[in-house]
Amino acid sequence: MIEEATARRVLRKALSSGGDFAELFVERRHGYSLRLVVPTGDGGEK
């Protein structure tokens, strides 16, 4: 999901301002979308 070199670079940057702890959370997500089109009887849609 995320390359190790990228994770190390991000964590190094996060800790560079004096923090003691930093972690990354990565989540792979898939989205779905649905659209309902209802004819109105006059040729339009609502």
Summarised one tens digit per residue, pLDDT across range 10-42 is 999 999 989 889 999 988 888 988 888 887 777
Does residue 14 sit in helix, strand or coil?
Answer: helix
Token code pair at residue 34? 């649905």
Looking at residue 32, what is its pLDDT? 87
Report pTM: 0.55
List the domain boundaries for the chain. 1-46
Do 14 and 23 touch, CB atoms closer than 8 A?
A: no
11 backbone φψ class: left, alpha, beta (φ>0; ψ -120 to 50): alpha
